[in-house]
């Protein structure tokens, strides 16, 4: 009987099929691979690709070398010693020193003023071959290259360590960032070579020791010696020098004050390294290792940052306007000439230091904040600035330049009365003073005390800061005219601000105190608006001028006649208006006050912002007062004994005492109106004088007709 062949299990069939398929595919791939290899070989040989790769690599290396050489040659290495020896000095408008700026600097001492124990310890620890190298170490580069490959394989995008020489460390601190990348390391090496070409070894070592960081905000070996041992650098003992040398690797870890045990262990290691470098015998090192780690603080940092908010603003302007980094400003030994008036600045700071000039703190202790700017109206140079109350934080928030608040009635002269004068109205034109609603939303402005006289001359409406006449007048001349004038004065208005509320300071973003000071300088400068600035000139450490700002750029905004008329009307504010109690004795002042309501439920009677702006022919000062965050428990009292008038009077008295005391050439508008009334005495001349004169009415009628016609035509155009 014939037996049937036994079938293999299905699994074995699948495995066998896969093996045979893989074998066939592999055979095909091998044939294809041999053909590709043969083709590539012929192609490689035909086009000499090896030579091309070598040529490209050499070209890239050459390009990189040229670039890095250019970086080194343009790094201002020749000026390095001058930069490190000198601090950046700020000069006032009279070219007198006003203070200095420095961050990574201490008291600079020459090498002969440093104990030899210090370089012995530092070189033994940091760079034993310092006097044999030319800026970089071959071993260090090899170590850096190994670490680079290692970190790339581990997907770390940085270099850990790198064996930098003393010169490289100096370059890193003086020219580069602390970021550990290959490109930074390459620049460091090329600049280090250039430094070695320009300076002797002793000069490089001196610069390094004076530019090294030793923790607790202390830079340089002299200040470190004072900070930790109350000694001069020339008197440091071997254990003290070893302690400072050990700190260079990590001042935070090896800190003799906060971490004495770790610091002593590190000091003893440095002493042993000095033995290896033949600077000590083993016996000497063993004796020094037994020395207790004793510290004594005799360091007294000099306070040369005398005018903090002004100096902050100088740094900010150098960065934003002239592209000079904060690091360079603080460390490059510049001479910065500014518009500072030290008398005005000191006076302003003294006013702000006196708490009696401000309302009492809120129940939770929150201070009422304030800020002021004083400006030369002719040049726009800021002569004094204070950006807030309380402890100053280096380059912290400056309310005088960075804050935006609603301007309240201080905007009326700009968006209401100035365009009115330029469109046919006169300083004594009659304005309607009635409670009235406008538009479909029934916008109804109210006077402060909710009383109305029916009509009022323009100058009086201004100095009493009446709201109803201001809105009525803006409605008459057209909101577009007021909005356009705000733009001419460079106020940051938005399209959404184009409404009647603009007359009372209603703005989307608000304005800064400095912007308002600059705007009012226009009235004080014959209609020419200057450019606000702090810096007039900057010289580098070698004396080369790198920034020149003559400060004479002005923008024509309004006619000189209009500017004088506005000043005439605004004299009344401090003569017999809302600012009368803030008028400094013996001075004639023009300007405007302003207030914004809190708008907070539960604090309806409180205010959010209070403003006072005043000027003479010599200076314009803008001051704001309020809480940073207004809420039900943080709103300004409407009436208080220590209000902004008290602050402004004290502030202006001190500032004006530091000015020539130049007087206005225009008279108070109210006095002019009274003089005109007494001179006219009736008759036909009265038609052209007084509050209700026919000439004013005629001009107003023509202006109103023109505005109505313009609005009608705009409406017609909008249909198409």
What secondary structure does DSSP assign to 492-538, as a single string?
A: ---GGG-SGGGGGT--SS-B-HHHHHHHHHHHHTTTEEEPPBSEEEE
**pLDDT higher than 50, residue 158:** no
Per-residue pLDDT at 171: 84
Share above pLDDT 70 across residues of the chain, in percent, rounded to a whole number:
86
pLDDT band at 690 (very low <50, low <70, confident <90, very high): very low
The whole-number pLDDT of residue 685 equals 43
Residue 373 has pLDDT above 80, yes or no: yes
What's the confidence (pLDDT) of residue 162?
46
- Average confidence (pLDDT) over 257-263: 92
Per-residue pLDDT tens digits for 404-434: 999 999 999 999 999 999 999 999 999 999 9
Query: Is 464 annotated as catalytic?
Result: no
pLDDT, average across residues 515-533: 96
Model's pTM, two decimal places? 0.80
Rounded to an integer, the average pLDDT of 690-694 is 44
The residue annotated as part of the active site, out of 124, 137, 347, 409, is: 409
Task: Name the least confident of 180-184, 250-254, 526-530.
Answer: 180-184
pLDDT given at position 691: 40
The residues, ordered by sequence, that sit 6+ positions from 567 with a Cβ below 8 Å of its Cβ are 523, 524, 590, 664, 666
441 pLDDT above the threshold of 50: yes
Task: Over range 223-250, report the average pLDDT.
Answer: 94
Radius of gyration of the chain (CA): 38
pLDDT greater than 90 at residue 308: yes
Residue 384: C-alpha distances to residues 55, 168, 259, 330, 551 (Å): 63, 42, 44, 21, 16
| Section 607-617 average pLDDT | 96
Q: Of the residues 100, 115, 126, 429, which is catalytic? A: 126
The Cα 350–Cα 368 span in angstroms is 17
Q: Coil, strand, or helix at residue 336?
A: strand
The pLDDT of 596-615, averaged and rounded, is 86
Q: What is the mean pLDDT of residues 518-546?
A: 94
126 is catalytic: yes
Per-residue confidence (pLDDT) for residue 712, from 0 to 100: 53
Give the pLDDT score at 339: 97
* Residue 198 CB partners (closer than 8 Å, separation 6+): 77, 78, 80
E strands along 283-396, which residues? 335-338, 369-375, 382-386
Lowest mean pLDDT among 3-17, 48-62, 117-131, 238-252: 3-17
pLDDT at residue 170, rounded to an integer: 85
- pLDDT single digits (tens) 329-342: 988 889 999 999 99
Q: Tell me the mean pLDDT in the region 562-571.
A: 97
State the average pLDDT for the chain: 86
Q: Which pair of tokens denotes residue 309?
A: 């908010």
Half-sphere exposure of 108 (CA within 13 A, CB side): 18
For residue 715, what pLDDT is reported?
47
């Amino acid at each position: 009987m014939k037996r049937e062949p036994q079938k293999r299990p299905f699994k074995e069939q699948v495995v066998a099929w896969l093996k045979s398929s893989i074998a066939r595919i592999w055979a095909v791939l091998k044939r294809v691979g041999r053909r590709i290899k043969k083709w590539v070989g012929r192609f490689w040989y035909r086009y000499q690709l090896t030579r091309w790769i070598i040529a490209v690599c050499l070209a890239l290396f050459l390009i990189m070398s040229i670039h890095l050489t250019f970086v080194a040659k343009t790094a201002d290495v020749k000026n390095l010693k001058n930069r490190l020896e000198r601090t950046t000095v700020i000069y006032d408008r009279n070219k007198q020193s006003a203070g200095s700026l420095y961050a990574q600097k201490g008291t600079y001492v020459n090498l002969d003023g440093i104990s030899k124990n210090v370089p012995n310890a530092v070189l033994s620890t940091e760079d034993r071959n310092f006097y044999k190298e030319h800026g970089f170490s071959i071993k260090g580069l090899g170590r850096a290259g190994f670490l680079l490959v290692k970190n790339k394989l581990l997907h770390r995008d940085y270099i850990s360590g790198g064996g930098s020489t003393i010169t490289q460390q100096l370059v890193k601190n003086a020219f580069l960032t602390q970021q550990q990348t290959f490109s930074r390391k390459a620049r460091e090496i090329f600049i280090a070579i250039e430094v070695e070409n320009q300076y002797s070894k002793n000069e490089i070592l001196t610069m390094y020791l004076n530019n090294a960081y030793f923790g607790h905000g202390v830079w340089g070996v002299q200040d470190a010696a004072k900070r930790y041992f109350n000694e001069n650098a020339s008197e440091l003992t071997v254990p003290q020098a070893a302690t400072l040398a050990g700190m260079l690797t990590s001042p935070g870890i090896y800190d003799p004050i906060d971490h004495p045990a770790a610091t002593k262990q590190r000091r003893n290691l440095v002493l042993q390294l000095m033995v290896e470098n033949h600077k000590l015998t083993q016996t000497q090192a063993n004796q020094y290792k037994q020395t207790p780690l004793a510290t004594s603080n005799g360091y007294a940092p000099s306070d040369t940052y005398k005018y903090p908010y002004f100096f902050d603003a100088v740094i900010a302007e150098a960065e934003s306007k002239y592209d000079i980094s904060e690091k360079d400003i603080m460390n490059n030994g510049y001479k910065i000439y500014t518009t500072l008036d030290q008398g005005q600045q000191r006076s302003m700071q003294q006013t702000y230091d006196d708490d009696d000039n401000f309302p009492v703190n809120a129940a939770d202790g929150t201070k009422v904040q304030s800020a002021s700017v004083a400006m030369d109206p002719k040049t726009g140079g800021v002569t004094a600035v204070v950006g807030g109350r309380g402890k100053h934080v280096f380059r912290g928030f400056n309310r005088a330049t960075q804050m935006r608040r609603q301007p309240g009635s201080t905007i009326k002269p700009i968006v209401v009365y100035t365009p009115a004068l330029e469109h046919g109205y006169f300083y004594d034109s009659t304005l309607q003073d009635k409670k009235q609603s406008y538009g479909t939303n029934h916008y109804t402005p109210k006077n402060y005390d909710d009383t109305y006289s029916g009509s009022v001359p323009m100058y009086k409406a201004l100095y009493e800061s009446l709201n109803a006449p201001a809105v009525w007048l803006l409605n008459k001349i057209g909101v577009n005219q007021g909005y356009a004038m705000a733009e001419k004065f460079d106020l940051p208005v938005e399209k959404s601000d184009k409404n009647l509320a603009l007359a009372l300071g209603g703005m989307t973003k608000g304005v800064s105190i400095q912007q308002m000071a600059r705007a009012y300088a226009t009235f004080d400068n014959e209609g020419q608006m200057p450019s606000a600035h702090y810096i007039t000139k900057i010289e580098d450490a070698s004396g080369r001028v790198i920034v020149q700002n003559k400060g004479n750029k002005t923008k024509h905004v309004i006619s000189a006649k209009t500017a004088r008329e506005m000043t005439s009307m605004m004299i009344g504010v401090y003569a017999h208006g809302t600012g009368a109690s803030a008028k400094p004795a013996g001075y004639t002042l023009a300007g405007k006050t302003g207030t914004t309501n809190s708008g907070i439920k539960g604090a309806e009677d409180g205010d959010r912002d209070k403003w006072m702006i005043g000027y003479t022919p010599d200076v314009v000062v803008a001051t704001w007062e309020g809480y940073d965050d207004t809420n039900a428990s943080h709103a300004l009292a409407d009436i208080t004994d220590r209000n902004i008038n008290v602050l402004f009077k004290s502030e202006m008295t001190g500032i004006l005492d530091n000015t020539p005391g130049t007087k206005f050439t225009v008279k108070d508008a109210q006095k002019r109106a009274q003089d005109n009334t007494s001179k006219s005495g009736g008759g036909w001349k009265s038609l052209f004088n007084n509050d209700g004169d026919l000439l004013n009415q005629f001009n107003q009628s023509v202006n109103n007709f023109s505005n109505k016609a313009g609005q009608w035509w705009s409406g017609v155009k909008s249909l198409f």
